[in-house]
Structures are given as structure tokens and as C-alpha cells.
């Protein structure tokens, strides 16, 4: 069921958005060559406790997950692109890292993701990260009353095609509110002018993710981490966005 939020409720969601943004900023600052993925998860866990927030991940167990997630953070490295389960791994020079984080503050959820390189970057990795960020910005620009959900999806797909990338439609954006995942589903490609008409009060997570040379993925033996079928690298950008009469409001904007 699609739920629309009142202006007051959207204001009440701002603290969750600010908190999620602050955690991602702290994690990107912390991540460096030699830092263990479990250290990043521990930092996020500590910030959750200090803020009196709640994790959306630790007990999360959807049908596609092998077991309850058990961590508070998704850390996807190199050929992993989504749902990366943190494990005992020290980041290496040149690793492409995607960090996805969602939390609830005072009963409202925000969800966001960022990709970056630790140490010496490869040019192709920087281009891929920039393309996901460009696709996210393009999609957000269409998140206005009167437009259609297909306009948001098409904006993502157009950026991917311009960059010579193919799009996987198995996982995409989603509604956000009292829970992390709700209606509507927001595909990362679509037809403009089609689908749900956007109305003020709709709050969605928009999350383009791309792989360098494929759109096919498989699930790692850990039962969660999604990796590219051909070993190519992936990147992921995400924001929680409220559609308002004044235009898109990015609740998880980072300074």
C-alpha cells in the first residue's frame, strides 16, 4: 500500500535523514587501506546506540536473505554491489567500496548509500561512481508532483545507456516511512510518462546501482552479498527523497 505523508510527518523524518547522512559521512572518513569491514560496522553500531536510533538491518530477514542479516551496515567491495554482509576483511589499496545504511529515528526511517575508493583509484572506478551519482541526481530532478514514476526510472536508465552500461531490474528503489521497504517499487529503468503519478507526501528511496560490464548478479555463499556475474566492479548511490509542492526534498543529503 502506498502511503502519503503530511508536511508535518515529512518534517518529523528529517532527523532520521540527518542521522543516516552523518553515519555515512563518518564511515567514509573512517574507511582507509587496512581498515576492517567489521570496524566500519562497529562504528555504525556505536553511532546508532549513541543516538538512540534503531537499526533497520540487524534483524532483517526477507525471502531473498539466507538468515537474519545480523549487522547494521551493508559493505559491498569491488565485484560486490548490494547487500554486502560485513566480514573479516581489511580494505586494500584501490578497493571500490559501497556502503548502504538505513536506520529508524523516533519511528521514522531513512535509507542512503554511497560508493568511494580507498587508496589509489582506478579511472574506471571513478567513472562508474560518478555515473551512479549522475543517475541519482537526474532521477531526483523528476521527483516532482505531476510527474510519473516512470520518469524517475527512465532518467536513471538514460544515464546508464549514455555511459554504455546495462541495467539490472531485480533490485531498485522503494517507498520509505515507518519501515525500510514499502510501496512503490522504483525500478532503475522505465518508460517516461508511465506509472504512478507522483503526489506531494510520497517518500521514496531512489538507488541506481550499476556494474561495469554486465547486468547479471549472483548471491555470494554468505547468503546475502550480491556480486557481478563476470567479476566486474559495481557502484551504488542512494538518497531518501520526499516529494513536496516545492519540489524534491533530499532527506539524506550529506554536507
95 annotated as belonging to a binding site for a ligand? no
123 annotated as belonging to a binding site for a ligand? no
61 annotated as belonging to a binding site for a ligand? no
Order the strands of the 247-250 sheet from edge to edge: 182-186, 173-175, 203-206, 239-244, 247-250
Identify any residues that bridge with 227 across adjacent strands, giving them in sequence order. Answer: 80, 218
236 annotated as belonging to a binding site for a ligand? no
The enclosing H or E element of 253 equals none
Residue count of the chain, please give it: 255
SS3 228: strand
239 annotated as belonging to a binding site for a ligand? no
229 annotated as belonging to a binding site for a ligand? no
207 annotated as belonging to a binding site for a ligand? yes
Q: Nearest-CA neighbor of 76 among 66, 86, 68, 67? A: 86
DSSP conformational letter for 235: E
Give every CB contact of residue 247 below 8 A, 6+ residues apart in sequence: 143, 144
Q: Nearest-CA neighbor of 198 among 241, 243, 135? A: 243
Please report, in range form, the residues annotated as the binding site: 83, 100, 111, 174, 181, 207, 238
Please report, in range form, the residues annotated as the binding site for substrate: 83, 181
Please report, in range form, the residues annotated as the binding site for a divalent metal cation: 100, 111, 174, 207, 238
Amino acid at each position: 500500500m502506498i502511503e502519503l505523508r503530511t508536511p508535518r510527518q515529512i518534517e518529523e523524518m528529517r532527523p532520521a535523514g540527518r542521522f543516516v547522512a552523518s553515519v555515512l559521512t563518518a564511515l567514509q572518513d573512517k574507511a582507509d587501506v587496512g581498515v576492517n569491514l567489521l570496524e566500519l560496522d562497529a562504528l555504525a553500531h556505536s553511532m546508532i546506540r549513541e543516538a538512540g536510533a534503531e537499526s533497520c538491518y540487524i534483524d532483517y530477514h526477507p525471502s531473498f536473505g539466507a538468515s537474519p542479516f545480523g549487522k547494521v551496515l551493508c559493505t559491498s567491495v569491488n565485484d560486490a554491489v548490494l547487500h554486502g554482509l560485513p566480514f573479516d576483511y581489511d580494505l586494500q589499496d584501490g578497493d571500490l567500496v559501497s556502503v548502504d545504511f538505513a536506520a529508524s529515528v523516533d519511528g521514522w526511517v531513512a535509507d542512503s548509500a554511497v560508493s568511494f575508493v580507498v587508496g589509489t583509484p582506478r579511472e574506471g572506478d571513478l567513472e562508474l561512481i560518478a555515473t551512479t551519482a549522475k543517475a541519482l541526481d537526474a532521477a531526483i530532478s523528476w521527483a516532482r508532483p505531476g510527474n510519473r514514476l516512470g520518469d524517475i526510472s527512465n532518467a536513471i536508465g538514460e544515464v546508464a545507456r549514455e555511459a554504455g552500461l546495462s541495467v539490472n531490474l531485480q533490485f531498485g528503489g522503494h517507498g520509505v516511512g515507518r519501515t525500510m521497504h514499502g510501496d512503490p517499487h522504483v525500478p532503475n529503468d522505465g518508460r517516461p510518462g508511465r506509472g504512478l503519478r507522483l503526489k506531494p507526501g510520497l517518500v521514496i528511496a531512489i538507488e541506481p546501482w550499476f556494474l561495469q560490464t554486465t547486468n547479471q548478479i549472483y548471491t555470494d555463499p554468505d547468503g546475502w552479498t550480491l556480486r557481478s556475474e563476470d567479476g566486474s566492479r559495481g557502484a551504488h548511490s542512494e538518497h531518501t527523497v520526499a516529494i513536496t509542492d516545492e519540489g524534491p526534498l533530499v532527506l539524506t543529503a550529506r554536507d
